[in-house]
Amino acid sequence: MNVTKRDKLTLPTRKKDKIKLSAKKNIYLPIHSYLLAEFNHARQYEPGLLRDDDSEFLHQYRVSLRRCRAITTLMKGIFQPEHSEALTSNLKILMQKTNRLRDLDVYLLKMDDYFDCLEHKHHQGLARFFDDLQSQRRKSFKEVKQWIKTDSYQQQCLELKGVIEQLKQNPLDMGKKPSLIYGKKMINNRYHKVLIMCQALTLDSSDEDIHHLRIECKKLRYLLAYFSPLFSNEIITKQISTLKVLQDSLGLFNDSSVQQIFLADYLTARKPTSHRYLAVDQLLTITQKVHLATKQDIITQLSQFTDSTNIKSYDALYALPSTTSE
């Protein structure tokens, strides 16, 4: 045991929102509280991110920022447009700064899987491929670390927090809707949009169509997760579970799309006879096969999401009476 090894930091625990989501409360109040708590939570990951003990710190930092951005985009109709736009644009900048580092982390986390799927004769080339990724990762981490330590980053975070505070000033009329009515309307509309996309999808559909479905499913998942305290736990848990199965396959499909581009780009700078090229070329071929197989899985799983029982559960829980004012 190395007694000089420092203790690793533990992942922070998210604090509860100051304003609890409740059926009759104006929707803009708990949304504002949620965004503020989520952004503060994202910043709690910075020490672990800078220490670089565990890639999960960066991942969860991005997850919290993504939640903020998604909820702001989905519910932009309740806040002044200039405030919503300022928040989403600033969050986008923070996310983009860490995109490259997270992409490299994902590849490195899959290293054992990559070795398992290639013949032993390609392991030498694959090892060199991962040496290259490690080198790129060190460079990318250094850039992110330097950026987070700048006064510019600190100032941007202060400004972003200020924008979140502005959200609760002069909310639009939609923001004054009771949370339950607003939540039902949002989920019902989003679900039927996803349902129409699912019903139109076939094996002949383009990768772009599947990518759009993945985005819409993510939006629906965010809504279900946020508004879940207002509804029957058993029913909404089942809805989220059914959606998650489809989302997992959609995520694998997207990952394989991105991986194909990344691997093909890597090959352009390598000699076709090199160990690296031969190993990565085999990896690309396997990724292409996974891509096609995952597409077939998605088409199969669509039947669960579009099943009449699932449709009825959404209609029963979220459909608003025709007399309800919107």
Q: pLDDT tens digits, residue range 185-221?
A: 999 999 999 999 999 999 999 999 999 999 999 999 9
Q: Do residues 56 and 154 both lie within one domain?
A: yes
Tell me the residue type at 294: T
Q: For the whole prediction, is pTM greater than 0.85?
A: yes
Tell me the per-residue pLDDT of 261-307, one tens digit each, with 9 for 90 and over: 999 999 999 999 999 999 999 999 999 999 999 999 999 999 989 99
Q: Do residues 216 and 286 both lie within one domain?
A: yes
Contact by Cβ (8 Å): 167, 32: yes
Contact by Cβ (8 Å): 182, 39: no
What mean pLDDT, rounded, does the chain reach? 93
Q: Count how many domains the chain has.
A: 2
Q: Do residues 167 and 29 both lie within one domain?
A: yes
Q: Do residues 132 and 189 both lie within one domain?
A: no
Measure the CA angle with vertex 167, ends 165 and 171; round to 5°.
Answer: 140
Residue 108 has pLDDT above 50, yes or no: yes
Find residue 178's DSSP bridge partners. Answer: 26
Q: Do residues 193 and 237 both lie within one domain?
A: yes
Residue 322 has pLDDT above 70, yes or no: no
Q: Of 189, 141, 185, 208, whose CA–CA distance to 326 is shortest?
A: 185
Measure the CA angle with vertex 253, ends 256 and 69; round to 5°.
Answer: 100
Find residue 26's DSSP bridge partners. Answer: 178
In a domain, 10, yes or no: no
Neighbours of 323 (CB within 10 A): 5
In a domain, 90, yes or no: yes
Q: Do residues 77 and 132 both lie within one domain?
A: yes
Q: Do residues 305 and 183 both lie within one domain?
A: yes
In a domain, 2, yes or no: no
Tell me the per-residue pLDDT of 130-189, one tens digit each, with 9 for 90 and over: 999 999 999 999 999 999 999 999 999 999 999 999 998 889 999 999 999 999 999 999
In a domain, 53, yes or no: yes
Q: Do residues 232 and 102 both lie within one domain?
A: no
In a domain, 251, yes or no: yes
Q: Do residues 186 and 255 both lie within one domain?
A: yes
Tokens of 144: 């992110």
Q: Which domain holds residue 277?
A: 178-317
Q: Do residues 144 and 231 both lie within one domain?
A: no
| pLDDT > 90: percent of the chain | 89
Tokens of 133: 């990724």
In a domain, 3, yes or no: no
CATH number at residue 196: 1.40.20.10
Among 173, 197, 217, identify where a domain stops. Answer: 173
Place of tokens 């644009």: 89
Among 117, 152, 173, identify where a domain stops. Answer: 173
